[in-house]
């Protein structure tokens, strides 16, 4: 079922469209000194390779602005300059040819300075993100609202919007980031009800994985599922490549971006499993990830329910009675000895990528389905039917055919 996206204005960050129904973009930020052009470009290329569509670099001194000027012609994705306190560095970044700016309203408070930057950005045809952060709100807003509550974050953003309106600048996207997930979600909901500018989602200062990943997914995915959000960033205390990878993966798992990498699903295992599902899934994940194939693969602990439960997967493996049962879209196509099943899975993944699902189904071993069914029935007879399907079917039939009482 497709997401019903919130309708927003559209803008461009370099060659990337944001808002207005455009695909949701992934952002990250470099951790290098921007003045170190070669190191920063190397990190930007790594981020682009991991799925980032836009990158942000700090512009905290003149040397950083000069570095932006040098790297802009060589960067594989658009660069946004992150500005704190000094509005002249925003003007310098514009002069350097940057693709966009991020301004924190809590750090640049002089109204005329803000308007000067907006005017220059408008003349250069580049957008500005109003990046509100709960940790750096204007003291007057904190006092007025009693703390960094959603109303205070949104008020900060809309005050900046009014400054931009005064000079006719409207190429704007907005973020209202908070380190508390529930406060972050409520802030963006309120903002989405207040304005139609595109929104940049993120949980600020999320921390290192796994906690930082969990918090980011909890906040960002909640909003995306509500149709809110046009571009995202995972703010992790980690290599920024992890941010880009996580952001891209989240969009793919939600069906908001076309799959570009492996999606391995696996059952959590149970007493019915006759193999170490965790070990098999780990080996399969490592070997299949190296192939960089955009497919969904299932690793299931038993053949009783595996092919049926994972019938939507492009390719799957179910174990049982010393054998591995390979299936494509729920159809068993090959049965191999247990010791060879991961090798067979990797080979089938390669062939599936080269030939397509129809060709691989046509090439199926004609005895595979019968063998799988025999194994399934054998396991049910030995272990019982965990789903009690036969018992349930009989009860359903009894209810449906029971005569009405007089």
Statement to judge: residues 188 and 330 lie in one domain: no
Q: What is the pLDDT of residues 129-157, one digit of tens each?
A: 999 999 999 999 999 999 999 999 999 99
Q: What is the rounded distance in angstroms from the CA atom of residue 10 to the CA atom of residue 383?
A: 58
CA dihedral 229, 208, 180, 256 (to 10 degrees): 20
**Final residue before a domain boundary, out of 198, 227, 253:** 253
Asked if residue 212 is part of any domain, the answer here is yes
How far apart, in whole angstroms, are the C-alpha atoms of residue 164 and residue 192? Answer: 19
Q: Assess if residue 2 is contained within a domain.
A: no
The pTM assigned to this predicted structure is: 0.86
Q: Which tokens belong to 243?
A: 């941010």
Which ranges of 257-383 does DSSP label H, i.e. alpha helix? 277-289, 306-309, 341-355, 357-362, 368-383
- Position 205 in a domain: yes
> Is 16 in contact with 52 (CB distance < 8 Å)?
no
Q: Is 399 exposed, middle or buried (0-12, 13-18, 19+ CB in 10 A)?
A: exposed
The structure tokens 């002089």 sit at 110
Q: Sort strands 331-337 and 323-328 into parallel, antiparallel or unpaired.
A: antiparallel
pLDDT number for residue 210: 96
C-alpha to C-alpha distance for 56 and 206, rounded to whole angstroms: 17
At 42-61, the pLDDT tens digits run: 999 999 999 999 999 999 99
Q: Which residues lie below 8 Å from residue 110, measured CB to CB, with a gap of 6+?
A: 87
Q: Are residues 73 and 221 in the same domain?
A: yes
Beta bridge partners of 201: 232
Same-domain pairing of 240 and 360? no
CATH number of the domain bearing residue 294: 3.30.413.10
Q: What are phi and psi of 326, to 5 degrees?
A: -90, 135
Q: Of the residues 253, 275, 296, which one is the last residue of a structural domain?
A: 253
User: Is the residue at 249 inside a domain?
Assistant: yes
Q: Are 66 and 109 within one domain?
A: yes
Determine phi and psi for 329, rounding to 5 degrees: 50, 40
Q: Please check whether residues 242 and 269 belong to one and the same domain.
A: no
- Domain containing residue 95: CATH number: 3.20.20.20
Question: What is residue 316's three-state secondary structure?
Answer: strand
Q: Tens of pLDDT along the chain (406 residues)?
A: 456 899 999 999 999 999 999 999 999 999 999 999 999 999 999 999 999 999 999 999 999 999 999 999 999 999 999 998 999 999 999 999 999 999 999 899 999 999 999 999 999 999 999 999 999 999 999 999 999 999 999 999 999 999 999 999 999 999 999 999 999 999 999 999 999 999 999 999 999 999 999 999 999 999 999 999 999 999 999 999 999 999 999 999 999 999 888 999 888 877 666 688 889 999 999 999 999 899 999 998 877 666 777 788 999 998 877 888 899 998 889 999 989 999 999 999 999 999 999 999 999 998 888 887 887 777 776 665 555 566 677 878 888 888 876 5
Q: In what order do the strands lie in the sheet with 323-328?
A: 263-266, 296-300, 315-320, 323-328, 331-337
Residue 1's pLDDT is: 46
Q: Are residues 249 and 283 in the same domain?
A: no
Whether 237 and 272 share a structural domain: no
Secondary structure in 3-state letters for 151-209: HHHHHHHHHHHHHHHHCCCCCEEEEEEECCHHHHHHHHHHHHHHCCCCEEECECCCECC
Q: Retrieve residue 213's tokens.
A: 């990943």
Q: 10, 198 in Cβ contact below 8 A?
A: yes
Cα–Cα distance, 253 to 259 (Å, whole number) = 8
Same domain for 284 and 244, yes or no, is no
Residue 345 lies in a domain: yes
User: What is the longest distance spanned by two Cα atoms in the chain?
Assistant: 92
Q: Is residue 358 part of a domain?
A: yes
Structure tokens at 224: 């995306």
- In the chain, the number of structural domains is 2
The verdict on 292 and 380 lying in the same domain is yes
Domain that holds residue 119: 10-253
Residue 403 lies in a domain: no
Report the C-alpha dihedral over residues 215, 220, 222, 224, rounded to 10 degrees. -170
- First-to-last alpha carbon distance for the chain, in angstroms, is 46
Task: Label the pairing between strands 16-19 and 10-13.
Answer: antiparallel
Is 128:111 a contact under the CB 8 Å cutoff? no
| CA 217 to chain CA centroid, nearest Å | 8
Of 75, 74, 78, 76, nearest to 55 by C-alpha is: 78
Omega prior to 124 cis, within 30 of 0: no
DSSP summary character for residue 104: -
93 lies in the same domain as 199: yes
CA distance 264 to 306: 14
Residues 44 and 144 in one domain: yes
- CA distances from residue 78 to 22, 26, 69, 98, 101 in whole angstroms, order as listed: 16, 12, 13, 8, 11
80 domain residue, yes or no? yes
Same domain, 202 and 334: no
Spatial distance between the Cα atoms of 31 and 236, rounded to a whole number of angstroms: 11
Distance CA 285, CA 247 (A): 19
């Amino acid at each position: 079922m497709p997401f019903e996206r919130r309708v927003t204005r559209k803008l461009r960050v370099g060659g990337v469209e944001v808002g207005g129904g455009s695909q949701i973009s992934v952002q990250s930020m470099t951790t290098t000194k921007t003045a170190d052009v070669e190191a920063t470009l190397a990190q930007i290329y790594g981020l682009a390779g991991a799925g980032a569509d836009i990158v942000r670099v700090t512009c905290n001194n003149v040397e950083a602005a000069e570095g932006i000027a040098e790297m802009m012609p060589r960067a594989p994705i658009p660069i946004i300059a992150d500005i704190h306190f000094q509005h002249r560095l925003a003007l310098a970044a514009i002069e350097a040819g940057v693709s966009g700016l991020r301004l924190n309203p809590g750090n640049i408070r002089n109204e005329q300075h803000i308007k000067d930057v907006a005017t220059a950005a408008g003349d250069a045809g580049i957008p500005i993100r109003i990046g509100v952060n709960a940790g750096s709100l204007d003291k007057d807003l904190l006092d007025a609202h009693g703390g960094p509550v959603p109303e205070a974050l949104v008020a900060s953003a809309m005050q900046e919007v009014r400054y931009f309106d005064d000079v006719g600048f409207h190429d704007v996207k907005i973020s209202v980031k908070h380190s508390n997930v529930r406060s972050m979600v409520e802030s963006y909901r309120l903002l989405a009800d207040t304005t139609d500018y595109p929104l940049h989602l993120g949980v600020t200062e999320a921390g290192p994985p796994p906690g930082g990943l969990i918090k980011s997914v909890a906040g960002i995915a909640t909003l995306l599922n509500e149709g809110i959000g046009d571009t995202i960033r995972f703010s992790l205390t980690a290599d920024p490549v992890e941010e880009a990878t996580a952001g891209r993966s989240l969009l793919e798992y939600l069906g908001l971006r076309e799959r570009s990498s492996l999606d391995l699903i696996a059952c959590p295992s149970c007493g019915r499993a006759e193999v170490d599902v965790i070990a098999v899934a780990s080996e399969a994940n490592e070997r299949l990830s190296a192939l960089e194939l955009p497919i969904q693969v299932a690793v299931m602990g038993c053949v009783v329910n595996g092919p049926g439960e994972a019938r939507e997967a492009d390719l799957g493996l179910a174990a049982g009675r010393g054998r591995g049962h390979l299936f494509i879209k729920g159809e068993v196509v090959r049965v191999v000895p247990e010791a060879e099943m991961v090798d067979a899975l990797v080979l089938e993944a390669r062939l599936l990528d080269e030939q397509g699902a129809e060709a691989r189904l046509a090439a199926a071993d004609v005895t595979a389905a019968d063998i799988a069914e025999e194994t399934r029935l054998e396991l049910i007879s030995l272990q019982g039917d965990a789903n009690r399907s036969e018992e349930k079917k009989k009860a359903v039939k009894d209810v449906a055919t029971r005569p009405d009482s007089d």
